[in-house]
């Protein structure tokens, strides 16, 4: 049921983007959301990967990598449903923009909100400053929702 909801949502978003890069249905595709810090000790990366109706926690300690690894054991369906709300609210502005960096992520060790979306059109990645400069209210609201969701899933 949730798979159908996500497929329907992504289809609507695909139609709404009118000629720009579009989202399509999720099958082999995935959505990653994370927060990480460059100058820290211990576990500096907390992220999750949603794929095929499941959500997986990271097994990383550090950010700033080309690819991230995730557990092969999914979290509960309830945790997936909590995170799936992010797809419902994914900012169209991010999809429509060619920009992939907002603000100056981690320039003063304040951290990075990392987003990655893979569709049949390829992989898009965004790095959002945890400070709100250079971000619309739509992006700020979404970033806050991502950070809250990460906190709730920890």
CB-based contact 149:82 (threshold 8 Å): yes
HSE-CB for 129 with a 13 A CA cutoff: 14
56-102: per-residue pLDDT in tens? Answer: 998 876 666 677 888 999 999 999 999 999 988 999 999 999 999 99
pLDDT by residue (tens digit) across 37-50?
877 777 788 999 99
Give DSSP secondary structure letters for 44-57: -EEEEEEETTEEEE
User: How far is it, in rounded angstroms, from Cα 94 to Cα 139?
Assistant: 8
Q: In the numeric block, which tokens belong to residue 43? A: 């576990």
* Summary mean pLDDT of the chain: 81
For residue 28, the model assigns a pLDDT of: 56
């Amino acid at each position: 049921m949730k798979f159908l909801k996500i497929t329907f949502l992504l289809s609507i978003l695909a139609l709404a983007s009118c000629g720009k890069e579009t989202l399509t249905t999720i099958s082999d595709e995935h959505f990653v959301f994370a927060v990480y810090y460059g100058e820290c000790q211990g576990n500096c990366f907390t992220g999750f990967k949603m794929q095929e109706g499941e959500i997986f926690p990271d097994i990383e300690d550090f950010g700033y990598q080309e690819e991230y690894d995730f557990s092969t054991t999914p979290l509960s369906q309830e945790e997936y449903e909590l995170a799936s709300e992010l797809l419902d609210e994914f900012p169209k502005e991010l999809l429509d923009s060619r920009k992939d960096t907002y603000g100056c992520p981690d320039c003063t060790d304040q951290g990075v909100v990392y987003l990655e979306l893979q569709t049949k059109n390829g992989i898009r990645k965004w790095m959002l400053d945890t400070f709100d400069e250079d971000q619309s209210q739509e992006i700020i609201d979404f970033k806050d929702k991502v950070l809250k969701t990460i906190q709730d899933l920890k």
